[in-house]
Amino acid sequence: MRQLGKAILDINQTDFVVAGVSALACLGTLAGMPVWALFIGWAWYLAIGANKTAIREGSVTCVAAAVLALTAVVLTDAFAVFMPGMQASMLAVFLMIMALMVALKLPCIKHSLVGFNSFSCIFAGYYLGAFPAQSDYILNLVVAFVYITGANILGLFVGWASQQLAGFSFRRRDQQGDLEIS
């Protein structure tokens, strides 16, 4: 209980900024954005470096994995023509996760956390209908990609923006590379 009291007394500017930006992010639901995907992207930003490089690297990995996940959706539908749905899905996921594992060995696709989360966001988000559904199959895939992957990537930027708004930065204090938080 004492630790909780201390934690409450230690609330600072960063805490308020993160809570405020999180609340504002909920407005994305008005545009049909899967806000949960934004929060996942924000977590990636923090987990993979909390810097501009994290945005670039996270975005590249996110897009690559999302394309593989949509390919798994298409393959599932194609395989379901000649095999039961569960087996079709399992085969499609197996093939595309193998492709993701190979992609993660490329220098431009670095973050397995982002890759697997992005794949999962698209795969689950597509089947849960976490985007404005379209009557055309291809358009439906494109809209799912734009909404879900777009929200993931927006989350990377929101992580950066909240960090900037909080005035949180790392600066080198001296030549030896010690970091100071200001």
Q: What is the mean pLDDT of residues 49-71?
A: 97
Predicted pLDDT at 116 = 98
Q: What backbone torsions phi and psi does residue 125 show, to the nearest 5 degrees? A: -60, -35
Q: Token pair of 158, please?
A: 């929101």
With residue 162 as reference, give the H or E element that holds it.
helix 150-165
Structure tokens of 175? 């030549």
Q: Are 66 and 118 in contact (CB under 8 A)?
A: yes
Percent of the chain with pLDDT over 90: 80
- What's the rounded Cα separation, in Å, for the pair 43 and 170? 19
For residue 117, what are its two tokens? Answer: 């989360």
pLDDT of residue 168: 53
CA neighbours closer than 13 Å in the CB half-sphere of residue 144: 29
Q: What is the pLDDT of residues 117-156, one digit of tens each?
A: 999 999 999 999 999 999 999 999 999 999 999 999 999 9
Q: How many CB atoms lie within 10 A of CB 128?
A: 10
Residue 171 has pLDDT above 80, yes or no: no
- Under the banding of pLDDT at 50, 70 and 90, the label for residue 14 is confident
State if pTM tops 0.75: yes
Q: Are 75 and 92 in contact (CB under 8 A)?
A: yes
Structure tokens at 134: 């379209």
